[in-house]
Each structure stands twice: as C-alpha cells, then as structure tokens.
Amino acid sequence: MSADDILDSRRSFLRKSLTLIPVVTVAGSGIGLGAAVVADPAPAQAKARDEAAPAGSGTAYQPVFFTAEEWAFVNAAVARLIPADATGPGALEAGVPEYIDRQLTTPYATGATWYMQGPFVADAAPEFGYQLRLVPRDIYRLGIAAADDWCGRQYGKRFAELDAATQDQALGLLEAGKATFDAVPAKVFFSYLLTNTKEGFFCDPIHGGNKGLVGWKLVNFPGARADFMDWVERGERYPIPPVSIRGERA
C-alpha cells in the first residue's frame, strides 16, 4: 500500500466521522424539551450566550464547534466541575468553555494521532485503554445530546436549566456510569469533559483557558518562569507570581 492510499483511508475515516455530525446535531436540538428551541433556534442561542458570558467579561467568545444548546450545557457543566467558590474563580471564569471549543477545532478533535484502524472491540477490558471508534468531536456531540436527553427524562429539564444541586447529582451519576447512554458510554463522555475542563483550567492561556492565570494562582504554580536555580534547595513557598508564555502576569 502506498502512503497515498493511507492518506485516503485516513480521509475516508474522517469523512465517516464527520458525516455523523449533522445527523446528531439535528437530534440534539430535538430533545423534546421546550419546542422554542427547535422552532426558533436564534433567540435560544443568544440566550445561551448571554448566560454563558462570565459576569463582567467584555466580548463574549463565539463558539465555533458547539451549537447554542451544547454551549449552554458546557458552560453549565464546567461551572459545577470547578466551581467559583471561597477558594477563588472557577472553570467558567477561567474560560474553560472557550478552551474546549477551541480544542475541538484542533487535530486532537479528530483523534489525528490515535490509531484508528479497525476492527474495534468496544467492550474490551479497561486494561486495554481506549478502544472506541469515536473521536473527541463525536464524544461531545453525542454525549451532550444524550446527557440533555437523559436529564429531560430524569428531571424534566435540560442540564443547563437544572439548579446547581441537581446538576451535581446528575454529573455524579454520569461519573459513576449510572446513567446509560446509547451513543457513547456516559463514563467516557464524563471523563473527557472532566479531563478537558482541568486542562482548560490549568493550561497556558495561549490555548484559551486559565484566563487571568486563575488556575495557576489557585495552586501557586509559576507558569512559564522555568528557572529555579535560586529556589531548588529551599523548602519555602515560591514567592514569584506566575507568568504566561505571552507575558501575562497575575
């Protein structure tokens, strides 16, 4: 087989995973809660964005990958996974939804460096690691739709519309695999959501998350300082505040 054939089979794989998307998008907005969403998506989208914009932030980020309903879900979920509380700002304030949306337009989103040739054995033992056919884009698209659908059946509302305590309960059930989805295992969806949320909270702001270096300030990580000649032997708190790759300081 020549390298060109390989590129072709890779492309056809990508095509297959992309064709999945529109179908699911339609399904995702037809979750049967609030007909307004289906009949008139534009206001719902605007509303979701208004809700999502962190208080006091200037221009709200416009998602590229997520639909309005998905954006509302992600904003609501990350705010519970890493909440703003007495210890300081949370995932929402750190810009984690923007981070995740942006990641879903990188090669990571399509599993570009994963081995994605079949046959797939989806029910393999966990020791074998990831064995699904789905790439991160699919996991979010299918997972959010399934989670909102499940919340609709469980609580009569979409996730973003639940109160915080119920949202926490719902996330706990996803984490424990007690919610069952058809399209994607609930636990897999939850673990991508949580992992990506933590990434967005602690990454360099160049990737769209950790705005104001709030994640690094929480744990006293100095970011891109990367020179500890004078501190290596000292068992004392590191005193210099963090700096980012672009030179932002906190």
Partner 1 sequence: MANAMKKADVVIVGFGWTGAIMAKELTEAGLQVVALERGPMRDTYPDGSYPQVIDELTYSIRKKLFQDLSRETVTIRHGLDDVALPNRQLGAFLPGDGVGGAGLHWSGVHFRVDPVELRLRSHYEERYGKGFIPDGMTIQDFGVSYEELEPYFDFAEKVFGTSGQAWTVKGETVGQGSGGNPFAPDRSDHFPLPSQKNTYSAQLFQQAAAAVGYHPYNLPSANTSGPYTNPYGVQMGPCNFCGFCSGYVCYMYSKASPNLNILPALRQAPNFELRPNSHVLRVNLDSSGSRATGVTYVDAQGREVEQPADIVILGAFQFHNVRLMLLSGIGKPYDPKTGDGVVGRNFAYQNMATIKAYFDQDVHTNPFIGAGGNGVAVDDFNADNFDHGPHGFVGGSPFWVNQAGTRPIGGISNPPGTPAWGSAWKRATAENYTHHLSMDAHGAHQSYRDNYLDLDPTYKDAYGQPLLRMTFDWKDNDIRMNQFMVGKVRRIAEAMNPKALAILGKQPGDRFNTQSYQTTHLNGGAIMGSDPKTSAVNRYLQSWDVHNVFVPGASAFPQGLGYNPTGLVAALTYWAARAIREQYLKNPGPLVQA
Give me the residues that bind partner 1 (CB under 8 A), please: 1-6, 10, 80-83, 85, 87, 90, 108, 111-117, 119, 121, 124-131, 168, 171, 175, 194, 197-199, 202-204, 206-207, 215-216, 218-224, 226-229, 231-238, 245
- How far is CA 180 from its chain centroid? 20
Which two structure tokens, joined as six digits, stand for 140? 């979010």
Closest approach of partner 1 to the CB of residue 207, in Å: 6
Closest approach of partner 1 to the CB of residue 96, in Å: 12
C-beta of 14 vs 183, nearer to partner 1:
14
Closest approach of partner 1 to the CB of residue 41, in Å: 30
C-beta of 151 vs 171, nearer to partner 1:
171
C-beta of 49 vs 187, nearer to partner 1:
187
C-beta of 44 vs 162, nearer to partner 1:
162
C-beta of 182 vs 227, nearer to partner 1:
227
Residues 6+ apart with CB under 8 A from 135: 17, 109, 110, 111, 114, 116
Closest approach of partner 1 to the CB of residue 127, in Å: 4
Cα separations (Å) of 177 from 63, 138, 170, 189, 192? 28, 18, 11, 10, 13
Which two structure tokens, joined as six digits, stand for 131? 């064995």
CB atoms inside a 10 Å sphere around CB 220? 12
